[in-house]
Amino acid sequence: MHAAKAALLSKGIEVESHDAVKRQFGLHLIKTGIVDKFYGMILREEQDDRMMADYNVGFSPEEDRVFKRLDDAKDFISKMESLIG
């Protein structure tokens, strides 16, 4: 979420809420072709899992899901760093 927010800020777009980050990310980075929609999917899935972990006491993701999220996060951060320069 912070990497997405930084990428938006590098384009002059300031956002505060998580929902605003997702909306503006889609509008200004995906729809314009700056990043592939794959990165929007990563952002959405990571946020969904964060919400589950915060608000669902019984949430316990499977090991393969955890490793996929880690790999996706590394890929996402690398892409956002390349945008920021």
pLDDT at 85: 85
What average pLDDT values come out for the chain (85 residues) when binned by 10 residues? 96 95 97 97 94 92 95 97 93
What was the pLDDT predicted at 21?
96
Q: Residue 8 belongs to a domain with what CATH number?
A: 1.20.120.330
Q: In this structure, what token pair is assigned to residue 44?
A: 């959405």
What's the pLDDT at 55?
95
Structural domain boundaries enclosing 56: 2-84
How many separate domains does the chain show? 1
Predicted local distance difference test score (pLDDT) of residue 67: 97
pTM for the model stands at 0.88
In angstroms, the Cα distances linking 58 to 8, 51, 52, 65 are 34, 12, 9, 16
